[in-house]
Amino acid sequence: MPNKKPRRLWLGIEVVSVPPQTPRVLIIEALKESINRGDYSLPRGWQINIRWRNKENARMKVGPWTEELTKSAASSDGFDATVLDYLDRQI
């Protein structure tokens, strides 16, 4: 589980593909579990993009959940904690 302090990020989640009728809360819980496991993997067949930037005037970065979280967490302390905080506010 991440133990770094959240940092300021502008975030958004784009659900590209999940099984029909999947409740929002289940999607959010699956995303949180992927962070807590540290592998950022999603259930088979799911496609979710994350949109983020770390400066107000910067261009939004957009990419697949697993790829973006892996890259960003490796290069930035607090990224996981910030995304978890964001997801908690979405429920």
pLDDT in tens, the chain (91 residues): 555 555 678 999 999 999 999 999 999 999 999 999 999 999 999 999 999 998 888 999 999 999 999 998 888 878 899 999 999 999 8
10 in Cβ contact with 53 (< 8 Å): yes
Collapse the DSSP code of 18 into the 3-class scheme (helix H, G, I; strand E, B; otherwise coil) and give the result. Answer: coil
Torsion of CA 77, 38, 41, 91, to 10 degrees: -70
Token representation of residue 11? 């975030």
Q: Look at residue 72 in the predicted model and tell me its pLDDT.
A: 87
Q: Look at residue 2 in the predicted model and tell me its pLDDT.
A: 52
Separation of alpha carbons 75 and 88, rounded Å:
23
Token representation of residue 50? 């994350």
Q: Look at residue 21 in the predicted model and tell me its pLDDT.
A: 95
